[in-house]
Amino acid sequence: MNIYLHELRAYRKFTFIWSASLIILFMMYFSIYPTIAKDADSFIKMLENYPEYLQSAMGLHLESITSLLGFYAFILTFVILCAGIQSLHIGISIISKEERDRTVDFLMTKPISRSSILTEKILAGLTTLVITNVFFFMIAKIMVEVFKTNDYDNRLFALMTITIFLVQLMFYVLGILLSVIMPKVKSVLPISLGVVFAFFIFGTLVVSDEKDIYRYLTPFKYFEPNDILLKGGFGLLYILVAFIFITASIVASYVVYNKKNIHAV
């Protein structure tokens, strides 16, 4: 039984819906950019009336918001939030659904090790995220080319778009770890929404600046599109910490899953 292909087939509708949702969300926001670019001064004056905490929550940087990539970074704040929900949902459900659907006994009787089962499931979930990001990148590139009012840095555009996948990857491995630690998960969506929004709100209300140590406690602050736009690339320390977190989460998931008493009922 090819678990990898089975999971891809099982999640094809889910992948299509989330990919389409992220793309539609982006298109709705970005389509108004030409109007904003034509009246940039009035737009900035309007945003200046917003409280600082609200500007921070919305990912607003007044010095760059009216530029093409600045507005793109602003939209990515909301895209990444939704993408985080998608990836955490997949991470939790792709492992826990066997117990929830009472098919775990059937799976465990097959001549395949638990490590192999977990590996194929992880790769299947990762593939769905890659598919989502490839489609989003293609549509975003087309939209930027259509609505651009001036030239932009293609390298920065690519790096900013990659932040979606990087944040998703952190939430994905967190979801996998939660799924093997938690007892039987009856409903995945409430957990996904609660965890992702908790991290988002924490990053908005608690983290004050880039030197704040609390930045390391929320994935949303590791790869911020506006930081990439202003600094020209990723922060090496954030990449290192993210790599350690992802690796530790995967290793811990294998250890727990191989020792876990799994019951179908």
pLDDT tens for residues 67-104?
A: 888 889 889 989 999 999 999 999 999 888 766 666 65
- Is there a contact between 179 and 254 (Cβ–Cβ < 8 Å)? no
pLDDT tens for residues 170-200?
A: 999 999 999 889 877 778 888 999 999 999 9
Whose CA is closest to 137, among 147, 148, 129, 127?
Answer: 129
Could you tell me the sign of the dihedral formed by the alpha carbons of 26, 31, 32, 35, in that order?
positive
Q: Where are the domains of the chain?
A: 3-259
User: What's the pLDDT at 137?
Assistant: 96
Low-confidence ranges of the chain (pLDDT < 50): 264-265
Output the pTM of the full model.
0.90
Number of residues assigned to the chain? 265
Residue 147 C-alpha from the chain's centroid = 25
Q: How far is CA 249 from CA 36, 139, 173, 184, 241, in A?
A: 42, 32, 6, 19, 12
User: What's the pLDDT at 109?
Assistant: 60
Distance, in Å, from the CA atom of 71 to the CA atom of 161, rounded to the nearest integer, reads: 13
User: What's the pLDDT at 115?
Assistant: 85
User: What's the pLDDT at 211?
Assistant: 63
